[in-house]
Amino acid sequence: MQGVRLTPTSYIVLGLLSWVAEATPYDLKRMVAGSVGNLWSVQHAQLYTEPERLAKAGYLTEDRERGGRRRRRYAITERGRAALREWISMPTDDFTELRDPGLLQLFFGADPAELASTQLHVHEEKLREYEEVRARGSSDAPAGPRLALEAGIGHEREWIRFWRRLAKG
Amino acid sequence: MQGVRLTPTSYIVLGLLSWVAEATPYDLKRMVAGSVGNLWSVQHAQLYTEPERLAKAGYLTEDRERGGRRRRRYAITERGRAALREWISMPTDDFTELRDPGLLQLFFGADPAELASTQLHVHEEKLREYEEVRARGSSDAPAGPRLALEAGIGHEREWIRFWRRLAKG
DNA sequence: ACCGTACCATCCAGACTGGACTATTGCAAG
DNA sequence: CTTGCAATAGTCCAGTCTGGATGGTACGGT
């Protein structure tokens, strides 16, 4: 019931469960894809182990179907909500972690123009995807995801500026 | 001698060792800090285990001091250089992985203005650091690290624009 | 001779990764 | 209706990585 370390992954699970009455790991997986998954990648296997861990510590309740798929349904507890609230109210000064394989190749001497043409494609595609999500979003959607999406769009544009500059020598 | 998977971390070790005749894990640690460590975080413990793994697979040679600190000195082999060259010449289309704790808090409903003031500090500091590195750099430095630094500076500026916008409502 | 401060190496439990593997269910064509 | 495919859903595992603790070595200064 006590003493687990809460990681960013934990807060993703708690955060998503604070928006819905209950969810199975598979539901979480779909919620993550196309939203928070863009700013913090989560392995699907974690969405099975992490809720289990959180349930053991009292942040969630677990309820398992008998027969059939034997889905586990999780719901957030008051203790879980409190932990989430507390985390949200303490602005972090932890730093952005960036992992960009293309940039790594550039660092170690890859041909800038050639690399740029590959990377440009990838980032243009991603930008298109984000802009589509934005277009679909209703105006009464929660502010958080909308703002995070704006951040993502801004960064994709920056990537595109950067690689475009390299592409033309 | 065979069959290890080469990860980005592997290429960081190979890449750094391609620039110097030999290095101990501790040397690698210092080389990473303030350069490639900014675009791909590496735990120091990995700089002990990864070269060992690479040496076993024939990409590096290992030579251990007797007595004293018993430092291990690693040097890249022709096989290692070949692997590095091959990786560099194949532009990756793997995608940027971004992990930003602040953005995650924003996503889940943190107060934008409050969060922004914390994050602004952090990113302004980082930008200052990058610009200092750039100022110190000689003009005959290799192009790769210089370009990667430019990317980092561009992104820090983007973060600052983003959080600045949120800070003033 | 002693101390403080870098320098340097190793270890560990727990968490995460990437993917393989299995099973269930819905649906559509034959 | 039954067969087969796609989508849905859950589990497992070996290998890696994480974050930090721990403990040793070297060296200048007093």
DSSP category for residue B36: G
The answer as to whether A96 is a domain residue is no
Contact with chain A for residue B39, Cβ under 8 A: yes
Single residue among A61, A88, A115 that ends a domain in this structure:
A88
Confidence of residue B169 (pLDDT cuts 50, 70, 90): low
Domain count, chain B: 2
Identify whether residues B84 and B105 lie together within a single domain.
no
Identify whether residues B77 and B134 lie together within a single domain.
no
Q: Which positions in chain A touch B157 (Cβ < 8 Å)?
A: 158
- Indicate if the pLDDT at residue A2 is higher than 70: no
Closest-approach residue (CA) in chain A for B100: A96
- Indicate if the pLDDT at residue B27 is higher than 90: yes
- Indicate if the pLDDT at residue B155 is higher than 80: yes
- In angstroms, the CA B122 to CA B161 distance is 13
- Indicate if the pLDDT at residue B74 is higher than 80: yes
User: For the segment A103-121, what is each residue's pLDDT rounded down to a tens digit?
Assistant: 999 999 999 999 999 999 9
Q: What is the pLDDT of residue B64?
A: 83
Identify whether residues B70 and B141 lie together within a single domain.
no
Contact with chain B for residue A79, Cβ under 8 A: no
How many helices (H) does chain B have, and how many strands (E)? 7, 3
Identify whether residues B136 and B107 lie together within a single domain.
yes
Structural domain of residue B151, as residue ranges?
A: 101-167
The answer as to whether B156 is a domain residue is yes
Label residues B125-163 b or e (16+ Cβ within 10 Å = b): ebbeebeebeeeeeeeeeebbbbbbbbbbbbbebbbebb
Point out which residues pair with A23 in neighbouring strands: A74
Contact with chain A for residue B91, Cβ under 8 A: yes
Contact with chain A for residue B168, Cβ under 8 A: no
- Indicate if the pLDDT at residue B120 is higher than 70: yes
Contact B118 A84 (CB under 8 A): no
- In angstroms, the CA B156 to CA B169 distance is 20
Closest-approach residue (CA) in chain B for A16: B108
Identify whether residues A83 and A13 lie together within a single domain.
yes
Rounded mean pLDDT, B62-86: 88
> For residues A32 and A13, is the Cβ–Cβ distance under 8 A?
no
- In angstroms, the CA A40 to CA A32 distance is 9
- In angstroms, the CA A42 to CA A104 distance is 22
Place of tokens 């990648």: A41
**Which chain C positions come under 7 Å from a protein C-beta?**
7-12, 14-20, 24-25
Identify whether residues A136 and A78 lie together within a single domain.
no
**Which chain D positions come under 7 Å from a protein C-beta?**
8-13, 15-21, 24-26
- Statement: the CB of B41 is under 7 Å from strand D: yes
Identify whether residues B19 and B81 lie together within a single domain.
yes
Q: Which positions in chain B touch A10 (Cβ < 8 Å)?
A: none
Single residue among A88, A115, A138 that ends a domain in this structure:
A88
The answer as to whether B130 is a domain residue is yes
Single residue among B89, B123, B157 that ends a domain in this structure:
B89
Q: What is the pLDDT of residue A97?
A: 87
Identify whether residues A105 and A71 lie together within a single domain.
no
The answer as to whether B96 is a domain residue is no
Q: What is the CATH number of the domain that holds B84?
A: 1.10.10.10
Identify whether residues A52 and A105 lie together within a single domain.
no
Q: Which positions in chain B touch A154 (Cβ < 8 Å)?
A: 158, 161-162
Residues lining strand C at under 7 Å (Cβ) are A 4-5, 7, 9, 41-46, 49-50, 53, 67-69; B 24-26, 44-45, 48, 69-72
The answer as to whether B1 is a domain residue is no
Identify whether residues B22 and B82 lie together within a single domain.
yes
Identify whether residues B58 and B112 lie together within a single domain.
no
Identify whether residues A30 and A71 lie together within a single domain.
yes
Q: Which positions in chain A touch B113 (Cβ < 8 Å)?
A: none
Rounded mean pLDDT, A71-92: 94
The answer as to whether A20 is a domain residue is yes
> For residues B10 and B50, is the Cβ–Cβ distance under 8 A?
yes
The answer as to whether A19 is a domain residue is yes
The answer as to whether A93 is a domain residue is no
Length of chain A measured in residues: 169
